[in-house]
Every structure is written in C-alpha cells, then in structure tokens.
Structure 1
Amino acid sequence: MYIITGLGNPGKEYEGTRHNAGFMAIDHLADKYQISMDTRKHMAYLGKGIINGQKVILAKPQTYMNLSGESIRSLVDYYKIDPEEELIVLYDDISLDPGNIRIRAKGSAGGHNGIKNIIAHLGTQVFQRVKIGVGEKPKNYDLKDFVLGHFSKAEQELMEEGCQHSVQAVELMLEGEIQAAMNEFNRKKREK
C-alpha cells in the first residue's frame, strides 16, 4: 500500500494558491481514479482506491503546511507503511517554473517548511516526492505573500499541465519506475 499526500493549507481562502499545488495534484489523481476524498482521519482528508493495481490512500493534511508531518506521521504509523518505500509527497516548489515538475527519491527540505516538518516527524529524508513548480518569487516580494498568492490565468493553464504530469509521474512511481519518471519529467523544461 502507498500513501500519496499533497501538501497545502486548509480553508477556502487558500484554494488555488501556490502553496496548495500539492492539494491540486491530489485532486487530479482523485478525479482520474474516482477516489472520494471525504473521510476525515489522521488530521487529513483521505480517500482509498486503486491506481495501476496498487492500493493507495490519497491524503490532504489539514494541519496547515508547516505542520504537515504530524498528519503524515499518524498515517504512516496507522497503516504501518515504510515511508522510504511507500510514501509519495507532492508539493509546491518556487525554484521551478509554473507547471514544471521534478521527481526525487530523497533529499533535504530545500527550505520548504512542510517538507522540513515531515523530515522531523519521520526521522528520515528518504521518501519519494514530486515537486510542482509554482514560479520564482519576484524581487522585493515577501515569500509568504508570494506562496499564498493566486496564479494568473496563464499560470493556471501551466499548473493544469503540471498537475497532469504529476499524475503521470505518480503512476510510474507506483510501478516502481521512479527512474523512468525522473528521466521523463526532470529534463523537461517549458519554453518561456
């Protein structure tokens, strides 16, 4: 069984913001595989289903971004999964252009507070992840204001494509093909 979790902030006011790119990608997965996300447990909205023959639990932690590890730790413990093998985390990345994605098998938090909290709660940096580009913070712009801001119309279209690519990457990862996912998506760069 895999736990696939998207990071974001709960509440209407955060819907469609850059920091909620992980939630957006989970919604795409849930829609494609008709997985209902209406169970509320482990400080998250959850949905159980099957993707490519694998049992999955989709999760959207409701702890706010910076405390995402609390919910994920609870899920990992309850379902007795190995986070180094059976956890996939989808989240926003300001170092990538909107819609570009990057897959990693492990790594540091890279300044992302949600990932920092997950690493602290799990005690490991080794878990699969899909970083979803939301664009670089403009000069003289507050980082918090930027990540909690909404996408422009043009960026929304790019994010739609990025979410679709995230779904395709997760499908490969569930087949044990993380290297194929990296080869496919890590080299893709959108023309400006």
Structure 2
Amino acid sequence: MTSLPIKLVAGLGNPGEKYIATRHNIGFDWLDRLADRLLVSFSPETRFRGLCARVTQPDHDIWLLKPQTYMNVSGMSVGALCRYYKIIPEQVLVIHDELDLLPGAIKLKFGGGTGGHNGLKSIVTDLSSQNFWRLRIGVGHPGNRNQVVDYVLHPPRKEEFLLIDEAIEHSMLVWSLIAQGDFAAAMQQLHTQ
C-alpha cells in the first residue's frame, strides 16, 4: 500500500501557555519533536492561521503545521494551507490525541470517522473529505464522557506521560516511510512494537 507522498503534516492542539503539555496538545508535541529531528523551525504564517515549517525533500516539500485557531476550528488552518498549495486530502497526515487508545498506544490509519474529536470534525468539514491519514496517539479515557473536556485539557499523569513520550519516540522511527508514502511498511513497523 504505497500511497501518495505526504505534503502536509498537521499536529493538533490549542495555542497558549495554559494548554502546553495537555493531552489535547499531543499533536503539537509530536510536531515539535519531528521539527527538532529535521532541524527545521516554525514561524507564524498569517494566511494559514498557524505556525509552519517547510521540510525540503528531493522530489517535493512537506509542510508542518500547528494551527493557531484553537482545536475546534483546526480545519480553517489546514484547509487554507491545502487550498494555497493545492494539496489533496490523501496527502495530509493529522496527528491527534485519541481517547479510545490507552496511553502509549499509537495507530496510523487512513480515513474513517472522527470519534467525536472536534479537531477532526473541523478538518473533515473544511476539506469536505474524511480521506486523510491520521496518527492517533492514545491518551486514554476518563471513564465518564462528562469528564472528557476537563480530562483532555489537563496534562497526563507522570506514568501516562512516560508511555506517551515513548510512543512518540517510537513513531519518529517510521517518519521516513511516512514521508515517502510507504504507509504499509510504516504501519507494520509502528503497530508491532
């Protein structure tokens, strides 16, 4: 399953000091780790309402994007960049927190529903498509759906943080496969930890 190469990686989160290190900001954390490895830095891009970095590849560039629109309207930022650079949904990878996976679990998948994730809902609406890649990083579930908002807006417990950090580090090992569109190999390596 070699697919189209990725041209945009969007990490989801909320801007601002009070959201740093919260479960909902795992997408930002993942992108920061990748940017450090690739030796690129983010800068504000007003037209995309986000922080952007460009990764130069031999055959195409990959944009890294941290929307600064707040989670629930992430699609405004993702959609603006996609329209500007004519990037189709199949060339987009979204990194996000996942309540349905235990802390430390990480799954790569294509398409599907949003699982109630407001950031994904916004992106699906703005792209008019569910056909984009997702890297789902498990944060666990509080056990009561009425506690979800408070839960994702707080940092994980220390033992959860260590598991999540390990999963993010493990996922960095498949970046080169993801970048070239070899998702079958990336999933095999990622899902057999």
TM-score, normalized by the shorter chain, greater than 0.5: yes
Tell me how far 1:18 sits from its aligned partner: 0.3
CA RMSD of aligned residues (A): 1.8
Partner in structure 2 of residue 46 of structure 1? 52
Partner in structure 2 of residue 171 of structure 1? 176
Separation of aligned partners in 2, 1:140 and 1:92: 16
1:57 maps onto 2:66 in alignment? no
Separation of aligned partners in 1, 2:7 and 2:189: 22
% same residue: 39
Q: Where do residues 78-157 of structure 1 align in structure 2 (5 Å cutoff)?
A: 78-84=84-90, 86-139=91-144, 142-157=147-162
Separation of aligned partners in 2, 1:170 and 1:122: 24
Is the alpha carbon distance of 1:156 and 1:51 closer, same or farther for their aligned partners in structure 2, counting shifts above 3 Å?
A: farther
Tell me how far 1:51 sits from its aligned partner: 5.9
Residue type at the aligned position of 2:13: G
Tell me how far 1:77 sits from its aligned partner: 0.4
Q: Where do residues 172-187 of structure 1 align in structure 2 (5 Å cutoff)?
A: 172-187=177-192
Contact 1:172 1:181 in 2 (8 A): yes
Separation of aligned partners in 2, 1:91 and 1:51: 24
Separation of aligned partners in 1, 2:172 and 2:43: 20
Would you say how many aligned residue pairs link Structure 1 and Structure 2?
A: 187
Separation of aligned partners in 2, 1:69 and 1:40: 15
TM-score, normalized by length of structure 1?
0.90
Structure 1 stretches lacking a partner, 5+ long: none
Q: Which moved more, 1:146-155 or 1:88-97?
A: 146-155
Tell me how far 1:87 sits from its aligned partner: 0.8
Tell me how far 1:168 sits from its aligned partner: 2.8
Structure 2 stretches lacking a partner, 5+ long: 1-5
Tell me how far 1:83 sits from its aligned partner: 1.7
